[in-house]
């Protein structure tokens, strides 16, 4: 399982949305936009998939991204543990993340 963050409009001159590319169960992929999380592309490190050190507060911003990544993976793990051991479908995962199921996604 892996979560990588990308920008919606990497060539924008203004702040753009960030989405998580979630890869799990060997082949399932989900694109999930982070609510209320934006950044100007000039502050984004495309190789590390995180904020550059030139962004004021970059350490906090990157820590929040790491937490969101861990939360997403926890949702998948909890879903598997609560059911028949199978991971959620991509549609179900999006629904779980949107509904904030299992109380682990910290959206702010």
20-69 tens-digit pLDDT: 999 999 889 999 999 889 999 999 999 999 999 999 999 999 999 999 99
Prediction pTM value? 0.87
Q: Where are the domains of the chain?
A: 2-103
Give per-residue pLDDT as tens, 58-90. 999 999 999 999 989 999 998 888 878 889 999
CA-CA distance, 48 to 29, in Å (whole number)?
Answer: 20
């Amino acid at each position: 399982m892996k979560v990588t963050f990308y920008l919606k409009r990497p060539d924008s001159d203004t702040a753009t949305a960030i989405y998580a590319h979630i890869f799990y169960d060997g082949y399932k992929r989900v694109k999930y936009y982070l609510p209320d999380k934006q950044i100007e592309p000039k502050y984004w490190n495309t190789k590390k998939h995180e904020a550059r050190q030139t962004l004021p507060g970059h350490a906090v911003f990157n820590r929040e991204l790491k937490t969101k990544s861990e939360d997403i993976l926890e949702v998948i793990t909890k879903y598997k543990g609560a059911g028949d051991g199978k991971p959620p479908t991509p549609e179900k995962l999006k629904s779980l993340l949107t509904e904030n199921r299992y109380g682990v996604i910290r959206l702010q």
